[in-house]
């Protein structure tokens, strides 16, 4: 087994080189001095900083196991230390030199270690290559990572019927030992989450997790899809792509290994206003732009490999306090090759495929661009779908009819019944840049979808303008954006506020005063309450009938006198027969009628007056919730 020392110059560019060396039967080594330099680069936004963070997400330095010799048997020199650590759950050896070498050759630490222990140095540093040649140490030049081969793009999904896998071996649960396709043995930790398909367990420290499918969800097609996915080792930060298949003690397929994600879902942290304030109290609008850009870059990378996300929704995106870091989970549902994405949600489904069964067709990148635009809209207007409105039809109908309620063009919404959600959402829309609103209007009203590159350009420009103070950085602006601000005095509360200069002059010319936003809202609520009160009173008058005249109670019918019946003639009974017992005769009386059967006078049910005050109060509460 070849012992390969990987130089920091290579790790800066491609941390996953460690796994590829293992795949070629090599044993990876790293110099301790390079580890320290990598650690110093974990903060920042450049690619080298992202690679350094990716390295330490998979690297586990503690607990480490010290060794007195290399695995091939070479004894350590005095002052040198060797520790066995872990990277991606498998061994990596860190070499540390605590004393200067006694020879007079001046060279890099990595070059010295390779010369003394006959290690093969992998580097792209030209100076190191020259030093290795001078010191008679072995070295090879790293020429870069070979690009991944994109998946095929068939037109139709797999037509072969699927079949369930009936495992008869050990049931996998917390504490079980599973084996990966590369032969690694992993002990499953505590359950992290559980869904309709399977359960996520911790494994291999904090770097990886295992998704174990439920018994009824294991199928031949699911296994074939995961086998196809692991043929492309995708190590893009934030994408929880399957890396290996997982088998139980009886070597039966039960799930797969993937990187561990961080953060909370968009739905439970950003898309609900109180939760956003609680989870990320220091976020501004620039953080929302960062999240949107990070999401776009991930989708752009996947599209370059012909991978369609399919089920884009806020439950499959995780965000962290660092708004530049976004995680994509549930990647086994992605559309890959002829395996369709079998799930989806209505708000993220393009108009032309609304109502179709997801697993019966293959989506296109153009279909996905609609879902991407929807997600961007819901990030910038936290949690608000683009077709959500007052009035209109169902979500599916609004999407089919392209009934976008946010007005941009002069004839926008002509012939359509829709009302823009009032309050905060109108304010946010007014503060978005013109070109960004134009892109949303093109997508949701004209069905002209923008490519991901256009969205990245628009959002990068928006972020720069936010930084320069050209737009409001508030998450939820309290008022409309005013392009020609001027100070004015409110005609109602007499407070000074900012008003549009053009509007102020127009109202002055007509002899009217202007009002601040709070007074306008209060006046609108009072007007709506007054209108509701009038409608309620009219409804009460229509419901309540006129009082009915009192009708006299009819007298009960007289009881007729019944005559006494004639006596029954006696029959002659033979002397030998016993005489029958005398029958006591009782006078017949008329049968008493039940009370319910008696004739009752007609009575009008009293009109039940409606509670005017409670109706108005309830309506006002609903109205205040809608506005605030």
pLDDT of residue 607: 53
Beta strands 191-194; 496-500: pairing state: unpaired
Q: Which two tokens stand for residue 301?
A: 């990378």
pLDDT at residue 623 tops 80: no
At 80, which helix (H) or strand (E)? strand 80-87
Res 572 pLDDT > 60: no
Within 10 A of 310 (CB to CB), how many other CB atoms are there? 24
The 10s digit of each residue's pLDDT in 507-558 is 888 888 888 877 877 786 787 688 778 888 887 777 666 666 656 666 666 6
- 429-438 per-residue burial string, b: 16 or more CB within 10 A, e: under 16: bbbbbeebbe
Give the right CATH number for 2-141 from 3.40.50.1110, 3.90.78.10, 3.40.50.1820, 3.40.50.1010: 3.40.50.1010
What is the residue whose two structure tokens read 């961007």?
A: 376
Write the DSSP assignment of 149-172 as a string of letters.
PPPP--SS---SPP-B----SPPP
Please compute the mean of the pLDDT values over residues 293-319 and round it to a whole number. 96
Determine the 3-state secondary structure of 339 from DSSP.
strand
Cα–Cα distance for residue pair 514/464, rounded to 1 Å: 34
- With bands split at pLDDT 50, 70 and 90, how would you rate the model's confidence at 289? very high
Coil, strand or helix at 139: strand
Q: How many CA atoms lie within 13 A of 474 on its CB side?
A: 14
Q: Which of 57, 44, 62, 61 is nearest to 15 (CA)?
A: 57
Tell me which of 620 and 135 has the higher pLDDT. Answer: 135
Whether 398 contacts 392, CB under 8 Å: yes
Fold: same for 2-141 and 177-259: no
| Of 280-289, 344-353, 449-458, 474-483, the least confident | 474-483
The pLDDT tens digits for 587-597 are 444 445 554 45
In the numeric block, the tokens 């396709």 are attached to 181
* Angstrom distance (rounded) from CA 600 to CA 551: 11
Closest CA to 286 of 474, 100, 125: 474
Asked whether residue 46 carries a pLDDT value surpassing 70, the answer given is: yes
Structure confidence at residue 271 (pLDDT): 96
Is the pLDDT at 454 greater than 80? The verdict is yes
What does the pLDDT read at residue 537?
82
C-alpha Rg value of the chain to the nearest Å: 40
What is the tens place of the pLDDT at every residue in 106-146?
567 889 899 999 999 999 988 889 899 888 999 999 888 77
Domain boundaries, the chain: 2-141, 177-259, 264-467, 485-515, 518-539+614-627
> Is 517 in a helix, a strand, or coil?
helix
Residue 87 CA to residue 61 CA, distance in Å, equals 9
CATH of 177-259, one of 3.30.200.20, 3.30.750.24, 3.20.20.70, 3.40.50.2020: 3.30.200.20
d(CA 213, CA 194): 10
Range 264-467 classified under CATH 3.40.190.10: no
DSSP-assigned beta bridge partners for residue 497? 488
Which own/partner contact pairs does 50-55 have at CB distance under 8 Å and 24+ positions apart?
50/237, 51/11, 51/12, 51/13, 51/14, 51/15, 52/12, 53/237, 54/15, 54/235, 54/237, 55/11, 55/15, 55/87
2 bridge partner residues: 26
- In the predicted model, what is the mean pLDDT of residues 64-89? 89
Ranking 131-140, 203-212, 353-362, 551-560 by mean pLDDT, the lowest is: 551-560
Integer CA distances (angstroms), 291 to 200, 370, 411, 461, 603, in order? 25, 18, 33, 15, 70
Q: Which residues lie across from 213 on neighbouring strands? A: 198
Q: Which residues pair with 327 in a beta bridge?
A: 318
Angle of helix 47-58 relative to helix 32-39, nearest 10 degrees? 120
Cβ-count burial of 314 within 10 angstroms (0-12 exposed, 13-18 middle, 19+ buried)? Answer: buried
Kind of pairing between the strands at 2-6 and 120-123: parallel
In terms of pLDDT, which residue wins out, 102 or 338?
338
Quick: pLDDT tens for 31-43: 999 999 999 998 8
Token readout for 350 is 């393009």
Nearest to 335 by CA among 601, 145, 152: 152
**Residue 432 — pLDDT band, cuts 50, 70, 90?**
very high
Per-residue pLDDT band at 573 (split at 50, 70, 90): very low
Q: DSSP H helical segments within 409-497, as ranges?
A: 424-431, 434-444, 452-467
Choose between 546 and 194: higher pLDDT: 194
Strand order from edge to edge, sheet including 139-141: 59-67, 80-87, 90-97, 26-31, 2-6, 120-123, 139-141
Considering only residues 559 and 477, tell me which one the structure prediction assigns the higher pLDDT. 477
Least confident of 185-194, 403-412, 459-468, 579-588: 579-588
CA-CA distance, 356 to 389, in Å (whole number)?
24
Q: Residue 145: its pLDDT value, please?
A: 72
Higher pLDDT, 96 or 538: 96
> Cα separations (Å) of 399 from 195, 353, 391?
29, 10, 14
């Amino acid at each position: 087994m070849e012992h390969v020392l990987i130089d920091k110059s290579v790790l800066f560019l491609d941390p996953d080189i460690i796994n590829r060396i293992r795949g070629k039967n090599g044993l990876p080594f790293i110099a301790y001095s390079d580890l320290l330099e990598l650690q110093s680069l974990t903060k920042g936004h450049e690619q080298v900083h992202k690679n350094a963070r990716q390295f330490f997400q998979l690297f586990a330095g503690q607990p480490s196991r010290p060794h007195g010799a290399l695995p091939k048997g070479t004894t350590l020199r005095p002052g040198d230390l060797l520790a066995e650590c872990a990277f991606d759950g498998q061994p990596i050896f860190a070499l540390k030199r605590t004393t200067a070498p006694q020879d007079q050759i001046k060279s890099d630490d990595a070059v010295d270690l390779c010369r003394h222990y006959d290690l093969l140095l992998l580097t792209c540093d030209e100076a190191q290559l020259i030093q290795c040649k001078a010191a008679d140490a072995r070295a090879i030049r790293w020429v870069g990572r070979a690009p991944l081969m994109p998946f095929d793009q068939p037109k139709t999904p797999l037509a072969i019927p699927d079949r369930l896998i009936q495992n008869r071996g050990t049931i996998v649960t917390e504490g079980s030992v599973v084996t990966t396709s590369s032969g690694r043995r992993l002990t499953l930790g505590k359950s992290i989450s559980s869904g309709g398909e399977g359960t996520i367990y911790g494994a291999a420290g904090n770097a990886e997790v295992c998704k174990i499918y439920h018994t009824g969800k294991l199928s031949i097609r699911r296994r074939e899809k995961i086998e196809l996915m692991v043929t492309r080792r995708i190590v893009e930060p934030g994408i929880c792509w399957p890396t290996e298949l997982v088998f139980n003690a009886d070597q039966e397929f039960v799930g797969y290994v993937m990187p561990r994600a961080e953060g909370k879902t968009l739905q439970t942290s950003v898309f609900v206003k109180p939760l956003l304030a609680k989870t990320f109290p220091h976020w501004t609008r620039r953080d929302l732009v960062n999240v949107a850009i990070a999401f776009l870059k991930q989708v752009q990378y996947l599209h370059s490999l012909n991978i369609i996300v399919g089920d884009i929704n806020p439950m499959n995106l995780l965000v962290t306090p660092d708004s530049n870091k976004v995680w994509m989970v549930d990647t086994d549902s992605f559309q890959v090759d002829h395996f369709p994405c079998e799930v989806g949600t209505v708000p993220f489904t393009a108009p032309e495929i609304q109502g179709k069964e997801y697993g019966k067709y293959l989506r296109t990148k153009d279909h996905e661009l609609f879902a991407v635009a929807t997600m961007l809209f819901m990030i910038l207007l936290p949690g608000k779908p683009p077709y959500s409105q007052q009035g209109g039809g169902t979500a599916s109908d609004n999407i089919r009819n392209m009934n976008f309620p946010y007005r941009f063009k002069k004839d926008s919404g002509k012939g359509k019944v829709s009302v823009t959600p009032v309050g905060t959402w109108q304010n946010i829309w007014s503060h978005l840049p013109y070109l960004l609103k134009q892109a949303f209007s093109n997508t949701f009203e004209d069905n002209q979808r923008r490519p991901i590159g256009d969205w990245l350009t628009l959002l990068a420009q928006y972020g720069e303008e936010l930084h320069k103070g050209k737009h409001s950085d508030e998450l939820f602006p309290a008022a409309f954006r005013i392009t020609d601000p001027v100070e004015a005095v409110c005609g109602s509360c007499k407070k000074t506020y900012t008003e549009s200069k053009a509007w102020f002059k127009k109202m002055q010319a007509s002899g009217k005063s202007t009002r601040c936003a709070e007074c306008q809202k209060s006046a609108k609520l009072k007007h709506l309450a007054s209108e509701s009160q009038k409608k309620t009173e009219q409804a009460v008058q229509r419901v309540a009938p006129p009082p009915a005249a009192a009708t006299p109670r009819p007298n009960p019918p007289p009881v007729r006198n019944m005559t006494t019946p004639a006596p029954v003639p006696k029959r002659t009974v033979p002397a030998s027969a016993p005489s029958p017992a005398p029958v006591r005769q009782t006078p017949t009386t008329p049968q008493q009628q039940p009370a319910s059967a008696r004739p009752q006078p007609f009575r009008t049910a009293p009109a039940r007056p409606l509670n005017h005050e409670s109706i108005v109060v309830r309506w006002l509460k609903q109205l205040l919730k809608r506005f605030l």
